[in-house]
């Protein structure tokens, strides 16, 4: 393992905190920065290297905080800048780095520049900071194109004077015009603002959007389909890397350099430029979110991504859960190929989840990725084995996806429910008040205080895995070991062997001393859905 402090991120375990749902200190139902600070001892004990905070900036919450009013401030419901500084100090005091989320594709419609743009009217310089276009038809009553937004509905919103603005996400999230020097300069100020406050790195939201080609005539939605080679006018354009090269100069002015990880849903072969050391430095690999729990699928994802990372001059990343997807304990509880949205719409009943099997596979998959070279991104609550809260009633849903899709997409609230710290008490220890999304009764059984110190609990399994990983992690090398069908085995330098049994048949333990197992062994046999780590016995 590199001992250069500059390389801390290469094989870090990063724990994602969704601030509104982590810990609520003041009891208003929304998690806050003092709440997170109060949990730093917990995070230290868990053994994570870094915390990534999803947005905590002032926001009307049209998209869970990814609609940012002011990128250099804290939402008053979440805290203050002083409390942010306290959190940084507490994390750093515990040896934990901090990554914050940067949302550069869009602001919120409450951003001062957007309000100025609306007030200034068509053709004004203020409108040039966003993507305004004249509507079609006699009075501009038709959208400039037929494009649709990610959350459903049209991607253009009229403002009542013949102009329409582009929003790839919700209408409350107007897209910035990245050709505008003010937009570039303002984002550099934002990065500097947080870097100067001690932030160690950045997670870049929708990093593959930003720069766009809106040369007219605009193509139709049908014409956009399948443009995956950099020629799409909205996504993954080569010019975006000029932006990140500039950001990299800023990052490298710090010691150690600030880091960044791109959220870029691009084809794997287009990922390298985001992850390059001249760019953001690292990019999320979401391939395991789409892969079945299957030996061949997992092995292929690992092989490809280790190669992509090497080609990019970066380290690979591994992700099983985040705030945008169904929790992996639930994904693995459903038969392969299940339509997750249909399952959510059935309130988690159809098909009936195999809850125990899902957790078993989730633990095995987690132990598998934690043993890989590269960094692992964990999502709050997965260390408790939390399943998706699939039966949230429509009236409680907050995700714009639900409303914007006309109830066709249930959305992402089921993985954003405030997590349970205690088996009893208001909001299961989330805070002294309620919780902003309803928590199910089964949260009592999986609360932190139910698992703390309990051998075999998911929480203790994560603690043990992170401690062992810290001890065993060496250089970023991996060697596959021939294995029976449905079994994946690899070794890492320094005598670390890892085996995952995806098959129905028990498989014999390889040689070595067992240091971790994701579930009980059967004597000398590793049962189905189990990962085991072994260390060479001293000669
Ligand atoms: C990213 C975020 C997601 C958000 C979207 C728009 O994909 O992870 O939560 O809704 O960007 O900002």
Ramachandran region, residue 442 (left: φ > 0; alpha: ψ -120 to 50; beta: rest)? alpha
Determine what percent of the chain falls in helix, strand and coil, rounding each to the nearest 5: 30, 15, 50
Is residue 285 helix, strand or coil?
A: coil
Is the CB–ligand 1 distance for residue 130 below 6 Å? no
CB 526, CB 516: distance < 8 Å = no
Is the CB–ligand 1 distance for residue 151 below 6 Å? no
Active site residue 263: yes
Helix-then-strand count for the chain, H and E: 17, 18
Which ligand 1 atom is nearest residue 106's CA? 12
Q: What is the pLDDT of residue 538?
A: 83
CB 149, CB 128: distance < 8 Å = no
Question: Distance between CA atoms of 87 and 263, rounded to whole angstroms?
Answer: 24
pLDDT digit string, tens, across residues 110-161: 999 999 999 999 999 999 999 999 999 999 999 999 999 999 999 999 999 9
CB 116, CB 126: distance < 8 Å = yes
Q: Which residues contact 213 (CB under 8 A, 6 or more apart)?
A: 233, 237
Q: What is the DSSP letter of 176?
A: B
Is the CB–ligand 1 distance for residue 204 below 6 Å? no
Rounded to the nearest whole angstrom, what is the distance from the C-alpha of residue 275 to the centroid of ligand 1? 19
Residue ID of nearest Cα to ligand 1 atom 9: 324
Q: Per-residue pLDDT for 539 more than 80?
A: no
Rounded to the nearest whole angstrom, what is the distance from the C-alpha of residue 430 to the centroid of ligand 1? 24
Q: What is the pLDDT of residue 340?
A: 98
Q: Which of 263, 399, 413, 529 is catalytic?
A: 263
Ramachandran region, residue 138 (left: φ > 0; alpha: ψ -120 to 50; beta: rest)? alpha
Rounded to the nearest whole angstrom, what is the distance from the C-alpha of residue 67 to the centroid of ligand 1? 9
Mean per-residue pLDDT, 510-530:
97
pTM of the model: 0.98
Mean per-residue pLDDT, 321-333:
98
Mean per-residue pLDDT, 344-368:
98
Q: What is the pLDDT of residue 291?
A: 96
Q: Residue 161 burial (CB < 10 Å; 0-12/13-18/19+)?
A: middle
Tokens standing for 33? 């920065």
Q: What is the DSSP letter of 421?
A: S
Tokens standing for 469? 């990983």
Residue of 149, 176, 324, 399 to mutate, ligand 1, most atoms within 8 A of C-beta: 324
Question: Distance between CA atoms of 302 and 128, rounded to whole angstroms?
Answer: 44
Please provide the size of the chain in residues: 539
pLDDT digit string, tens, across residues 155-211: 999 999 999 999 999 999 999 999 999 999 999 999 999 999 999 999 999 999 999
Q: What is the pLDDT of residue 381?
A: 98
Question: Distance between CA atoms of 204 and 261, rounded to whole angstroms?
Answer: 6
Task: Tell me the pLDDT band of 23, cut-offs 50, 70 and 90.
Answer: very high
Q: Which of 205, 382, 383, 413 is catalytic?
A: 205
pLDDT digit string, tens, across residues 219-269: 999 999 888 888 899 999 999 999 999 999 999 999 999 999 999 999 888
CA 459 to chain centre: 20
Tokens standing for 504? 């129905």
Is the CB–ligand 1 distance for residue 205 below 6 Å? yes
What is the percent of the chain with per-residue pLDDT over 90, rounded to a whole number? Answer: 96
Is the CB–ligand 1 distance for residue 169 below 6 Å? yes
Q: What is the pLDDT of residue 226?
A: 82
Question: Distance between CA atoms of 137 and 308, rounded to whole angstroms?
Answer: 47
Is the CB–ligand 1 distance for residue 172 below 6 Å? no
Is the CB–ligand 1 distance for residue 206 below 6 Å? yes
Q: Which residues contact 86 (CB under 8 A, 6 or more apart)?
A: 33, 34, 37
Rounded to the nearest whole angstrom, what is the distance from the C-alpha of residue 114 to the centroid of ligand 1? 20
What is the percent of the chain with per-residue pLDDT over 70, rounded to a whole number? Answer: 100
Active site residue 205: yes
Task: Tell me the pLDDT band of 1, cut-offs 50, 70 and 90.
Answer: low
Buried residues in 7-26 as b, exposed as e (16+ CB within 10 A): ebbbbbbbbbbbbbbbbbbb
DSSP 104-163: -SB--TTSHHHHHHHHH-TT-GGGGGB-EEE-BSTTS-B-SS--B-TTSSBSEEE-SSSE
Is residue 82 helix, strand or coil?
A: helix
Question: Distance between CA atoms of 39 and 439, rounded to whole angstroms?
Answer: 20
Is the CB–ligand 1 distance for residue 63 below 6 Å? yes
Q: 10 Å Cβ neighbour count for 130?
A: 24
Which ligand 1 atom is nearest residue 168's CA? 6
Question: Distance between CA atoms of 173 and 195, rounded to whole angstroms?
Answer: 25
Q: What is the pLDDT of residue 319?
A: 98
Backbone angles phi, psi at 201, to 5 degrees: -165, 175
Is the CB–ligand 1 distance for residue 101 below 6 Å? no
Residue of 66, 105, 263, 411 to mutate, ligand 1, most atoms within 8 A of C-beta: 66
CB 384, CB 420: distance < 8 Å = yes
């Amino acid at each position: 393992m590199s001992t250069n402090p500059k390389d801390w991120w290469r094989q870090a375990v990063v724990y994602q905190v969704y601030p509104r749902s982590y810990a609520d200190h003041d009891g208003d139902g929304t998690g806050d920065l003092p709440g997170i600070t109060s949990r730093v001892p917990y995070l230290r004990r868990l053994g994570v290297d870094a915390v990534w905070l999803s947005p905590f900036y002032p926001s009307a919450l049209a998209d869970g905080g990814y609609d940012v009013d002011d990128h250099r401030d804290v939402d008053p419901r979440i805290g203050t800048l002083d409390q942010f500084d306290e959190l940084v100090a507490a994390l750093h005091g515990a040896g934990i780095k901090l990554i914050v989320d940067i949302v550069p594709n869009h602001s919120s419609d409450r951003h001062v520049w957007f309000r100025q743009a609306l007030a200034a009217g068509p053709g004004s310089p203020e409108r040039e900071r966003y993507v305004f276009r004249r509507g079609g038809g006699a009075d501009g009553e038709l959208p400039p194109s037929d494009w649709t937004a990610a959350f459903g509905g049209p991607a253009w919103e009229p403002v009542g004077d013949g102009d329409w603005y582009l929003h790839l996400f919700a209408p409350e999230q107007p897209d910035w015009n990245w050709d505008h020097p003010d937009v570039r300069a303002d984002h550099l100020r934002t990065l500097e603002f947080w870097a100067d406050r001690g932030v160690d790195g950045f997670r870049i939201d929708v990093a593959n959007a930003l720069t766009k080609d809106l040369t007219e005539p605009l193509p139709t939605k049908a014409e956009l389909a399948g443009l995956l080679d950099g020629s799409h006018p909205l996504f993954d354009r080569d010019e975006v890397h000029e932006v990140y090269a500039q950001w990299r100069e800023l990052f490298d002015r710090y010691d150690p350099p600030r880091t960044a990880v791109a959220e870029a849903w691009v084809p794997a072969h287009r990922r390298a430029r985001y992850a390059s050391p001249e760019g953001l430095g690292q990019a999320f690999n979401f391939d395991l979110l789409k892969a079945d729990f299957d030996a061949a699928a997992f092995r292929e994802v690992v092989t490809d991504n280790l190669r992509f990372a090497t080609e990019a001059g970066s380290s690979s990343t591994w992700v099983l859960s985040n705030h945008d997807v169904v929790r992996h304990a639930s994904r693995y509880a459903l038969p392969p190929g299940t339509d997750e949205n249909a399952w959510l719409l059935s309130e988690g009943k159809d098909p009936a989840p195999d809850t125990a099997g899902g957790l078993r596979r989730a633990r095995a998959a987690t132990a598998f990725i934690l043993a890989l070279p590269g960094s692992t991104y964990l999502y709050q609550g997965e260390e408790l084995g939390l399943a998706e809260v699939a039966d949230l009633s429509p009236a409680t849903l907050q995700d714009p996806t639900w409303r914007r899709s006309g109830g066709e997409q249930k959305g992402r609230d089921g993985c954003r429910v405030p997590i349970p710290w205690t088996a009893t008490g208001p909001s299961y220890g989330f805070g002294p008040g309620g919780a902003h999304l309803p928590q199910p009764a089964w949260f009592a059984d999986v609360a932190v205080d139910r698992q703390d110190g309990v051998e075999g609990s998911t929480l203790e399994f994560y603690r043990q895995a992170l401690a062992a990983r810290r001890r065993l992690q060496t250089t970023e090398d991996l060697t596959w070991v021939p294995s029976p069908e449905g079994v994946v085995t690899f070794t890492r330098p320094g005598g670390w062997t890892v085996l995952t049994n995806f098959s129905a048949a028990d498989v014999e333990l390889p040689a070595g001393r067992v240091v971790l197992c994701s579930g009980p062994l059967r004597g000398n046999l590793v049962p189905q859905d189990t990962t085991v780590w072994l260390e060479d016995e001293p000669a």
